[in-house]
Amino acid sequence: MALLSTKQASSSKGGLRHTNDGVSVGFWESQRLAKEKSYEKKAKRHNIKLDQLAIFTQQLASMLEAGLPLVTALEALQDQTEDPVFQIIIREIRTDISRGNSFSLACSKYPKAFSNLFVSMVEAGEASGGLSEILGKVADYFESTSKLIKKVKSAMTYPVAVIGLAVILVNVLLIFVIPVFAEMFADFGKELPGPTQALIDLSDWLKGNILYVIGGGFVAFQLWTRFVKTPKGRRFQDNLLFRIPVFGNLLKKITLSRFCRTYATLLRSGVPILRCLEIVAASSGRTQIEDASRAISKAISEGGQVSETIARIPFFPPMIKHMSKAGEQTGNVDGMMNKISDFYDAETDAIISSLTSLIEPMLIVFLGVVVGGIVIAMFLPIFNLSSIAS
């Protein structure tokens, strides 16, 4: 009897242990499914970084060129992708293709992840039967664009960081340090020098209105953000950016390079010219290129040529006008556009290099003038202590 009860206890313990394992497995499985559900919800609005998309496109092109079927290549890329949301996107695209849909149609369901340029290039590759070759061109385009963006960001990071630190430092001095000097100078009983008094007045005003300043800055930022989302606001912002000395010229060269590179890549891949211009306008992000693309499309629809329309648009420099005309005469428009893009990329590199070498001494002078001016203004009464103190 005792033996039987012991076996029952053992059995019940084993059953409990089994039940706990089952609960544990069920818990982790439910957690995995919940995460997968959340990733699926994010998939439609998920943005893929340009670097990540370039790697994905290049690897896919290499696999297709090696003879792997598209579904198998996507399955391999899904397994090696670290981004869980991108994994879901690749999985859904692979499922769509297995059901008989085209690759371009499957990608078009995720407009945040795959741009119009990518979808149109894939569509052209499917129509021509050279999908791997087209994807290779897309990957090269993404890589060149990514390198250009990184160069601009690296050139802008240092000055933005220094100016931000300078603003913080000046505010700390005005709010916390200068009031201490003001209390000390108040005991002198004499009129302070003009720069010192102005700085103390500014400190008192800022100390009493700091919340209003922060609130006003936040409201102004929100209003500006909403304004630039409107058509008039976007146009105003673009015109303003292109008029900034040095940086406006740099931005214009980058914009023209992207226009020429995108147009040449699409045209060489077999995308119809009107569709090329539509994609160029959508991917440019600049109202000047959008207006130019619409004007060129209208001229082509009426039987005109690209070079003739470009010649009438002031935003395009003479070189683009002459090179595009030469490309039409020789039947090598995409080649000429690529050469123009290479030229502007080289000029962009030169401007960024010169800016990088000039920005550091300019920032040192800027900091010296701002911080040094505050220090001198606060020490002027001490320098004149014999005439101020009674």
CATH of 50-143, one of 3.40.50.1580, 1.20.81.30, 3.30.70.1450, 3.20.20.10: 1.20.81.30
Output the pLDDT for position 32. Answer: 66
Instruction: Give the integer Cα–Cα distance in Å for 89 and 110.
Output: 8
Q: Which pLDDT belongs to residue 220?
A: 93
Q: Can you tell me the distance from the alpha carbon of 312 to that of 13, in angstroms, rounded to the nearest whole number?
A: 87
Local confidence pLDDT in tens for the 390 residues of the chain:
444 444 444 444 444 444 455 555 566 667 666 777 777 777 788 888 888 999 999 999 999 998 889 999 999 999 888 888 899 999 999 999 999 889 999 998 988 889 888 888 888 888 878 888 889 888 888 888 888 888 888 878 888 888 888 888 888 888 888 888 888 777 766 777 888 888 888 888 888 888 888 899 899 999 999 999 898 999 999 999 999 888 888 889 999 998 998 888 888 888 888 888 888 888 888 899 999 999 999 988 888 888 888 888 889 998 888 888 898 888 888 889 989 988 998 888 888 888 777 887 888 888 888 888 888 888 887 776 655 444
Q: Mind giving me the DSSP string for 138-192?
A: HHHHHHHHHHHHHHHHHHHHHHHHHHHHHHHHHHHIIIIIHHHHHHHHHTT-SPP
**The one-letter amino acid at 188:** F
**What's the confidence (pLDDT) of residue 111?**
87
Fold held by 155-390: Receptor-associated Protein (1.20.81)
Phi first, then psi: what are they for 253, rounded to 5°? -65, -40
- Structure tokens belonging to residue 10: 């053992």
Cβ(308)–Cβ(302) below 8 Å: no
Domain ranges across the chain: 50-143, 155-390
Q: Are 252 and 347 in contact (CB under 8 A)?
A: no
Contact indicator for 282, 116 with CB cutoff of 8 Å = yes
- Model pLDDT, residue 386: 56
Same fold, 50-143 and 155-390: yes
Predicted pLDDT at 43: 78
Taking alpha carbons only, the member of 388, 142, 371, 120 closest to residue 270 is 120
Q: Tell me the C-alpha distance between 381 and 377, whole Å.
A: 8
pLDDT of residue 13: 41
Structure tokens at 251: 């931005």
